[in-house]
Chain A
Amino acid sequence: MAEESQNKLVYAGKLGYSFRRHLHERFIETFLFLSAILSVAIMLAIIVMLVKESVVFFRQVSIWDFLTDTQWTPLFDDAHYGILPLISGTIVSSLIALLVALPMGTIIAIYLSEFAPFSVREIAKPSLELLGGVPTVVYGYFALLFVTPLLQIIFPELPGFNLLSAGLVMGIMIIPYVSSMTEDAMRAVPMNLREGSYAMGATRFQTSIRVVMPAAFSGIAAAYILGISRAVGETMVVAIAAGMQPNLTWNPMEPAATITAYIVQVSLGDLPHGSIGYQTIFAAGLTLLLITLVFNIIGHLLRKRYREIY
């Protein structure tokens, strides 16, 4: 009898304990879920914020003007709101950066993945990662005060602010991102593909170009797209070294502004909240987000396909 009641008591105590334990677990799970869902909330907040301010902007400026006007002078008395000069600056600086980053990044990746001895790779990879960790404002300083004077020796007529040196330095800055992802993609290619190729008598170079690279294609493409997205969104290098003059030009030897540089320029001034100048940076930001989002989605699809191959 006494034993039975004792058992009951233990049982009840256990029930209470397990109930509290359950509550505790639930509470933690909710917190974890909320922090996971936060990333979706951030994305939504970004979109809502940019669209909200842009809508106000587009009530005053027609989308047609925004896309076709060849002047971007929102802060002048004679205000023009054509995004084209900012787009051209962004495209030119990104193109130069990619012309540096994609070939160099690929060559470095092939070298590290297929050619380099273990010890070289162990040293080179972390060094490249360090290169990617240097603050962008430092790269901007380097472009303005080191690369531009150097380029002026070759092209004496080059102005102090130009897209060329900004693009070149941006390219070097992006190399680590491209090379590290490309190398990962190439290393993920199964060894037996290489062995097959070597068994057929192919050299290292033939194996890497004709066997490993095609096999890692979507991974490499994803790395390239990440590089493009970085170049388009990069801010401080262009803001410091390219000047901040919106200028519809395709000539890299001229000063110009990119979308990001314009946002920096406006933020440095004292724009009243709610003015049209304040809204232009959100409209420019929305344009930038849409461009990078398209690239990110392509990159995501490519990576997804690549995961399914092996």
Chain B
Amino acid sequence: MRSGKSLEEIRRIISLHKRWDLIFMITGIIALMIAIMTFVALFAHMLIDGLPRLSWEFFTSFPSRRPESAGILSAWVGTTLVMLVTAVAAVPLGIGSGIYLEEYAPRNLLTEIIEINVTNLAGVPSIIYGLLALGLFVYQLGFGQSILAAGLALALLILPVVIVATREAIRSIPITIREGAYALGATKWQTVSDHLLPYSAAGILTGIIIGLARAIGETAPIITIGALTFIAFLPPSPVKNEFPFISFEWLTAPFTVMPIQMFNWVSRPEEAFQLNAAAAGLVLVIMTLAMNGLAIYLRYRMRKNIKW
């Protein structure tokens, strides 16, 4: 041994270094456990407090000054309607934008600006979207503190998510599919609509679900618009008895959503209201978890099934 170290010594050094491996591995597992245990604690805490409040009445009654009879009817109806507006606005625009950037966009300065912008929009704090919606939708365009304004604010918020998901899904389709379509005389849009979109549908859907799950939980932008925290009525029904059977009056109605209802209950000092908050939180978490879980499952299946 030229270095003057005996085999024994080298073995000792190696085992010493290997010990660091073990120590780090344990640290890693502990860190992972802390993160996951926090979630377990959060869920358990809400379950213990909120589960007794979860009943049919909780879903079918309006908020009330008496905590025992308060429910989330106006909140979940509001959330559903706001999500409807969000999806109708964000899905076509997000997919369109993703297709343009991936298939149509020339390599020039404008394209680069758009791309940087999408990244930047994803990093803008959600409350800023609330301020935009307050200034632009509520006052400038005169939508008022309505379902329409809230839905559009959330649509802008999740637009980058849909765009990025669309781009990634389309990018993973091999070039040969496009070449095959063009060789048969298909136009660009025929190629996109008949081949690229169907093949990337699962990926795009994953992005849409993740985006909507995020939108359901967003509170800040909707508070900024000025959503009311106490709503004891429902927006007008979208279906009417007489012609044309569909009414859009609900778009301009005042509303509340699940996270705001929960926020309202958390901020009250009475403990009974905090039990309501736990119950509302439980519903909210189960909803978002189910949506995120569905998205993860879809992505997993997609990865397994499609082999180009």
Please pick, from B46, B99, B117, B118, the residue contacting A138 in the complex, using a CB distance under 8 A: B46
CB-defined interface of A137-167 with B at 8 Å, one 1/0 digit per residue? Answer: 1111110111000000000000000000000
Asked whether A233 and B113 contact (CB < 8 A) given A107-B31, A135-B259, the answer is no
**Residues of chain B lying within 8 A (CB to CB) of residue A233:** 124-128
Closest B residue, CB atoms, query A32: B100
**Residues of chain B lying within 8 A (CB to CB) of residue A107:** 24, 27-28, 31
Judge if B135 is at the interface, Cβ distance under 8 Å. yes
In the complex, are the beta carbons of B92 and A116 less than 8 A apart? no
**Residues of chain B lying within 8 A (CB to CB) of residue A39:** 97, 114, 117-118, 121, 159-160, 163
Please pick, from A28, A45, A203, the residue contacting B17 in the complex, using a CB distance under 8 A: A203
**Residues of chain A lying within 8 A (CB to CB) of residue B93:** 35, 38
Judge if A288 is at the interface, Cβ distance under 8 Å. yes
In the complex, are the beta carbons of A115 and B28 less than 8 A apart? yes
Closest B residue, CB atoms, query A285: B131
Judge if A197 is at the interface, Cβ distance under 8 Å. no
In the complex, are the beta carbons of A25 and B188 less than 8 A apart? yes
In the complex, are the beta carbons of B274 and A145 less than 8 A apart? yes
CB-defined interface of B79-109 with A at 8 Å, one 1/0 digit per residue? Answer: 0000000000000111011011100110000
Judge if A246 is at the interface, Cβ distance under 8 Å. no
| Secondary structure class of chain B's binding surface, majority of residues | helix
Judge if A66 is at the interface, Cβ distance under 8 Å. no
Task: Write the nearest CB–CB distance from B76 to chain A, whole angstroms.
Answer: 14
In the complex, are the beta carbons of B132 and A49 less than 8 A apart? yes
Judge if B219 is at the interface, Cβ distance under 8 Å. yes
Stretch at the interface among B171-179, B223-231, B248-256: B223-231
| Secondary structure class of chain A's binding surface, majority of residues | helix
In the complex, are the beta carbons of B217 and A146 less than 8 A apart? no
In the complex, are the beta carbons of B31 and A236 less than 8 A apart? no
Task: Write the nearest CB–CB distance from B17 to chain A, whole angstroms.
Answer: 5
In the complex, are the beta carbons of A204 and B21 less than 8 A apart? yes
In the complex, are the beta carbons of A50 and B131 less than 8 A apart? yes
Please pick, from B94, B160, B296, the residue contacting A126 in the complex, using a CB distance under 8 A: B296
In the complex, are the beta carbons of A116 and B28 less than 8 A apart? yes
In the complex, are the beta carbons of A144 and B266 less than 8 A apart? yes
Closest A residue, CB atoms, query B284: A135
**Residues of chain A lying within 8 A (CB to CB) of residue B187:** 21, 25
**Residues of chain B lying within 8 A (CB to CB) of residue A232:** 125
In the complex, are the beta carbons of A141 and B28 less than 8 A apart? no
Closest A residue, CB atoms, query B265: A141
Stretch at the interface among B1-9, B237-245, B286-294: B286-294
In the complex, are the beta carbons of A273 and B125 less than 8 A apart? no
**Residues of chain B lying within 8 A (CB to CB) of residue A116:** 28
User: What are 22 A-to-B residue pairs whose CB atoms are below 8 Å?
Assistant: A24-B189, A39-B121, A49-B136, A52-B135, A112-B32, A115-B21, A128-B36, A133-B288, A137-B266, A138-B217, A138-B284, A142-B45, A203-B17, A204-B21, A205-B21, A206-B17, A233-B124, A233-B125, A233-B127, A233-B128, A235-B220, A263-B127
Residues of chain A having any CB pair with chain B under 8 Å: 21, 24-25, 28-29, 31-40, 42-43, 45-46, 49-50, 52-53, 104, 107-108, 110-112, 115-116, 124, 126-131, 133-142, 144-146, 172, 175-176, 201, 203-206, 226, 229, 232-236, 239-240, 260, 263-264, 267-268, 273, 281-282, 285, 288-289, 292-293, 295-297, 299-300
